[in-house]
C-alpha cells in the first residue's frame, strides 16, 4: 500500500482577496505546521472567516498562493483531508445521523461503516438522543454541535472551525472544547476563529491576530497572551475598541489606531 502523504505544512504566501473592488484580505503570509492549534483572532469584520475560506479552497485569491505540502492545485486528495465547520452551519433536509452519514458517503466510507461511525461522533458531542431528529429542527446550538460531529466523523487531517461555540451555553461550550481537544489528540491540526479569549488561551498553541484584513501579529499562544507586541493586538486583548483612522484622542477614551 502506498503511504498517504501528509497535506501539511500549510504555506500561505502573499494571499490577497478582493470583492467589489475592495481588498479584504491583505498579503497574508504564514505557515502552519502539523499538530498545531492556531487561533485566528480579531474584531468583527477583520477578515477571519475569509482567511479560513481561502485556505479551505472555497474562495479564489486575487493574488498569492495557498500550498498544502507543496501542492498549490487544491487537488481532490488535499480537499478530502480537511473539513470546515462554518460560522452558520448548513444542514441537509434529513436526520442528524443521516447528515453525518452523507458526509461519510462523500468521503467514500463503506455503507456498512457509516451508521456506527456517525452515531459514535454524535454521542461524543452530546447529541446521541437527537440522532433521528430532522437536523433542521435542531436548535442553533445543537446544529453547531452537529456540524462539529459531521466534520469529526470524516477524521480530517486539518480541521477549520469558524467560531465553533459562538451560540453555545457554557456547558455546551465546555463539551465543544473537549471535542476539539479530542480531535487534536487524534492527530488533527486545528485552525479556528473565536471571540472567546479564554477559549483561545485554553486551546491554542499559536495565535494569529488580524485587523482590517491584515495579519498584524503571529506568535505562539503563551507569548501572545503574556503580551502581544502589536499595539492593536494589545488593545484587542484589553477589550478596547479599535478606533479607526483617528487623529485626535477620542473624548470618551479608546485607543488611537493608524490606517493600516
Ligand atoms: N463577498 C463579499 N463582498 C463584499 N464584502 C465582503 C464579502 N465577504 C466579506 N466581506 C467583508 O469582508 C470583511 C471581512 O469579513 P469576514 O466575514 O472575514 O469577517 P470576520 O473577521 O470573520 O468577522 P466576524 O467576527 O464578524 O465573523 C467584512 O467587512 C465583510 O463585510
Ligand atoms: Mg467570521
Average pLDDT of the residues in 105-128: 96
Which atom of ligand 1 is the closest one to the Cα of 50?
18
- CA-to-CA separations, 61 to 14, 22, 28, 90, 160, in angstroms, rounded: 10, 13, 11, 24, 18
In the reported structure, the alpha carbon of residue 236 is separated from the centroid of ligand 2 by a whole-number distance in angstroms of 16
- pLDDT tier for residue 213 given thresholds of 50, 70 and 90: very high
In the reported structure, the alpha carbon of residue 44 is separated from the centroid of ligand 2 by a whole-number distance in angstroms of 7
Residue to substitute in 39, 45, 46 for testing ligand 1 pocket (most ligand atoms within 8 angstroms of CB): 45
* Per-residue pLDDT tens digits for 84-96: 999 888 999 999 9
Q: Which residue puts its alpha carbon closest to atom 26 of ligand 1?
A: 44
- Answer yes or no: is pLDDT of 254 > 70: no
**Which ligand has the nearest atom to the CA of 86?**
2
The number of helix segments (H) and strand segments (E) in the chain equals 9, 9
Q: Look at domain 35-56+82-238 and name its CATH class.
A: alpha beta
Q: Which sequence spans correspond to the domains of the chain?
A: 35-56+82-238
What pTM was estimated for this model as a whole? 0.92
**Which ligand has the nearest atom to the CA of 215?**
1
In the reported structure, the alpha carbon of residue 87 is separated from the centroid of ligand 2 by a whole-number distance in angstroms of 6
- Answer yes or no: is pLDDT of 259 > 90: no
Give the containing element (helix H, strand E) for 188.
Answer: none
- Answer yes or no: is pLDDT of 2 > 90: no
- pLDDT tier for residue 247 given thresholds of 50, 70 and 90: very low
Residue 20: burial class (beta carbons within 10 Å; 0-12, 13-18, 19+): exposed
Q: Please list every protein residue whose CB sits less than 6 Å from any atom of ligand 1.
A: 19-20, 24, 42, 44-50, 87
- pLDDT tier for residue 253 given thresholds of 50, 70 and 90: very low
- The runs of H, that is alpha helices, within the chain are 48-55, 76-80, 96-106, 111-124, 140-153, 170-185, 197-203, 221-226, 231-238
Residue to substitute in 49, 166, 209 for testing ligand 1 pocket (most ligand atoms within 8 angstroms of CB): 49
Q: Which residue puts its alpha carbon closest to atom 13 of ligand 1?
A: 45
If DSSP states are collapsed to H, E and C, what string results for 14-48? EEEEEECCEEEEEEEEEEECCCCEEEEECCCCCCH
Average pLDDT of the residues in 125-139: 96
- pLDDT score for 175: 87
In the reported structure, the alpha carbon of residue 176 is separated from the centroid of ligand 1 by a whole-number distance in angstroms of 25
Q: Which three cell numbers stand for residue 218?
A: 503571529
Amino acid at each position: 500500500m502506498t503511504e498517504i502523504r501528509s497535506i501539511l505544512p500549510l504555506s500561505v504566501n502573499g494571499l490577497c482577496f478582493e470583492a467589489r473592488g475592495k481588498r479584504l484580505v491583505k498579503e497574508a503570509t504564514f505557515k502552519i505546521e502539523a499538530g498545531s492549534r492556531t487561533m485566528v483572532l480579531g474584531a468583527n469584520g477583520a477578515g477571519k472567516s475569509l482567511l479560513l475560506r481561502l485556505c479551505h479552497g472555497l474562495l479564489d485569491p486575487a493574488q498569492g498562493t495557498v500550498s498544502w505540502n507543496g501542492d498549490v492545485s487544491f487537488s481532490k486528495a488535499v480537499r478530502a483531508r480537511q473539513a470546515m465547520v462554518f460560522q452558520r452551519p448548513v444542514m441537509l433536509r434529513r436526520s442528524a445521523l443521516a447528515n453525518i452519514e452523507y458526509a461519510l458517503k462523500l468521503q467514500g466510507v463503506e455503507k456498512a461503516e457509516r451508521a456506527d461511525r456517525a452515531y459514535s461522533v454524535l454521542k461524543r458531542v452530546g447529541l446521541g438522543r437527537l440522532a433521528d431528529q430532522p437536523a433542521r429542527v435542531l436548535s442553533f446550538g445543537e446544529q453547531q454541535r452537529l456540524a462539529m460531529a459531521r466534520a469529526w466523523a470524516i477524521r480530517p487531517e486539518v480541521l477549520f472551525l469558524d467560531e465553533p461555540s459562538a451560540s453555545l451555553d457554557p456547558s455546551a461550550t465546555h463539551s465543544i472544547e473537549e471535542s476539539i481537544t479530542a480531535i487534536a489528540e487524534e492527530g488533527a491540526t486545528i485552525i479556528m476563529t473565536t471571540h472567546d479569549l479564554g477559549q483561545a488561551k485554553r486551546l491554542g498553541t499559536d495565535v494569529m491576530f488580524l485587523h482590517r484584513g491584515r495579519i498584524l501579529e503571529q506568535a505562539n499562544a503563551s507569548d501572545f497572551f503574556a503580551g502581544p507586541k502589536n499595539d492593536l493586538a494589545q488593545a484587542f486583548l484589553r477589550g478596547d475598541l479599535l478606533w479607526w483612522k483617528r487623529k485626535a484622542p477620542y473624548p470618551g477614551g479608546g485607543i488611537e489606531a493608524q490606517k493600516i
